[in-house]
Structure 1
Amino acid sequence: MAPETRVLYITGWMRSGSTLLGNVLNELPGVLHVGELHYLWRNGVLKEGTNTLCGCGQDLTQCELWSAVLYADGSADPSAARRMVAQQRHYLRTRHTAARLADWRRGGRPPRGVVEATGRTAGIYRGLAGNGAGRLVVDGSKYPGEAAALLGREDLDVRVLHMVRDPRPTALSYKRAKDYIDPMSPAGSSAYWTAFNVASELLGRAAPDRYLRVRHEDLCADPRGVLTEVMEFAGLDGEPPVDADGRVTLGVNHTVTGNPDRLARGATTIRADDRWRSALSTREIVAASVPALPLLARYGYRHLPIG
């Protein structure tokens, strides 16, 4: 029997365009983009984060969808939420990717904490499937270690979408503090960029038939083409909800945490943002490029895009 719940888990480094792509997919019937579900317990239940609203604008525990799912699953209990957060930190971070792949690739037995944490996540997925996500749950959590553990569950049909963006515009995004993220140096941002992308590549090697990599730049250049490819990979038929010029009308979503752009409504155009070329100094561009050198050519980016 085929798994009843299908999940598109987005991985890669932050600021890669996953929020916009997820919200576009959210416009398809039977699809729910839930943002960074990994933070549901920390931000939504325990209120320990800075981004605690649902994408619909309500408090997560007051949102009609999330209150139904959380209370039905038992995840609204603070003690359960604290246990979940502790398990995530101990077993499901990026540094744990290889270990979580080994749990199921070598026929091993995952640690009890992994089984419990992924079981609770699977329960949330199933709850969402019964509340509007009958065709697909889009989870933009971007933790390769968590994706690795979920790939090993036989009760889920998990597909991994690895989103990549040039590290230089990502560095610009992290240059200044925002309400929901701390500032980071260009070199620091690119060091994380490399680590998250290397870990995400491990997923593709372990499960090539359940892995797809797309570039942010290609999504901006050909929105319909890339969205069609993503939909086919995720098992979705029909036309992508974007016109030939990259325009889409976004409605209400129920995302957990993520870029504040997730709250946007109405007409939106998918387009490239090249402000980094003038907003970053030559020194900053070099600083953002050096830690990323092992992967730049592989992803089709120039080593030093100066001049």
Structure 2
Amino acid sequence: MTERTKVLYITGWLRSGTTLLGNVLNELPGVVHAGELHYLWRNGLLRSGTNSVCGCGEQVRDCPVWSSATGPRTAGAMGDAGDAVSVAERMVAAQHAHLRTRHTRARLAESRAGRPAPPAAAEVLDRTADLYRALAAAGGERLVVDGSKYPAEAAALIGRPDLDVRVLHMVRDPRAVALSHLSVKQYIEIMSPARSTGYWLGFNLASEMVGAAAPGRYLRVRHEDFSADPAGVLEEVLAFAGLDDAPPVDATGTVTLGVNHTVTGNPDRLTRGATRIRSEERWRTDLPARHAATATAVALPLLARYRYPLAPAPARARTGRESLTWTSD
């Protein structure tokens, strides 16, 4: 039997540190962080999304890694623009119709019963699996990290017998997320606290559904714990992914980031060199009270579950894993 490609699929809501975590893992031998692979079709091939640049700085369609990975089986030859566009348009339509957060329950039911997904969704999943195998052959033979963050996609992928998919669910205090979304950041749009927290609630509830269906292949990590104790959280994540490597960070939480080939993601994915992962609590003082109240009210069903207080204390010094802070926006 052919060995199954190992995939760490990261889910959760935006501005939760998934890009940084993925890029840290990318520094390990045999590990490739693909970024938000879900957007390869729209951003990379069609160039109709928010960003079409690979993490290496090239346009995705010009990047040699993606030109090789998206061959005839996965997307039509990159050099054949007509084939690539036709396939990409079909994939984007199928994602919208079958792999949004609202489709998580249906995709989970299929995975648990061993039933096939609708044909259009099945094509997306088949091509995604082919991309994973291509990335494994291009340096990710030990692990491919996909930070797409779509719970319905994770739900469908865990049912595939040809893949070994583990789901990493990252959460962050919704009030920190709300402040982050109020700031312009290159190609990432501004979002109101009500809207960002509504998405936060929906994506996290759907991710919880995936975890309940596959408890042995699901791990939830708090953003704040990662920033307060990078090495400790990375050890936990690596063990979950089946790797025995030492975390690629030093005692100060500093990692040296090299080139990556991420599709979309936080603009910080283009960062190179020594990067320190550290706590930051700016949201506690900078988020207006009315916005904090809105985010708190919308997120209330999950605050206690994720150990976020109803009324956070003022910003304080870093004290360890209990710190409710983060490294960057």
Aligned residues with identical type, % of pairs:
64
Could you tell me which residue of structure 1 aligns to residue 94 of structure 2?
87
Counting matched residue pairs gives 307
Worse-matched range after superposition: 5-14 or 169-178: 169-178
Q: Which amino acid aligns with 1:196?
A: F
Unaligned runs of 5+ in 2: 79-83, 315-329
Q: 1:223 aligns with which of 222, 230, 240?
A: 230
Could you tell me which residue of structure 2 aligns to residue 297 of structure 1?
304
The answer to whether the aligner puts 1:207 opposite 2:214 as a matched pair is yes
User: What aligned pairs does 1:1-307 form with structure 2 within 5 A after superposition?
Assistant: 1=1, 3-75=3-75, 76=78, 77-305=84-312
Q: Please, what TM-score do these two structures have when normalized by structure 1?
A: 0.97
Q: Secondary structure at the match of 2:22?
A: helix
Unaligned runs of 5+ in 1: none
Aligned 8 A contact 1:50 1:179 in 2: no
Q: Which amino acid aligns with 2:65?
A: L
Aligned 8 A contact 1:44 1:61 in 2: yes
Q: Secondary structure at the match of 2:127?
A: helix
Q: Which amino acid aligns with 2:153?
A: E
Q: Secondary structure at the match of 1:58?
A: coil
Shift of 1:111: 1.1
Shift of 1:306: 5.6
Aligned 8 A contact 1:187 1:290 in 2: no
Worse-matched range after superposition: 181-190 or 208-217: 181-190
Q: Secondary structure at the match of 2:221?
A: strand
Q: Distance in 2 between matches of 1:145 and 1:93?
A: 6
Q: Which amino acid aligns with 2:204?
A: N
Worse-matched range after superposition: 169-178 or 251-260: 169-178
Shift of 1:74: 4.2
1:164-215 C-alpha deviation (Å, 9 max, x unpaired)? 0000110011113443222211121111101100000001100000000000
Q: Distance in 1 between matches of 2:8 and 2:116?
A: 24
Q: Distance in 2 between matches of 1:153 and 1:114?
A: 13
Q: Secondary structure at the match of 1:61?
A: helix
Aligned 8 A contact 1:33 1:253 in 2: yes
Q: Please, what TM-score do these two structures have when normalized by structure 2?
A: 0.91
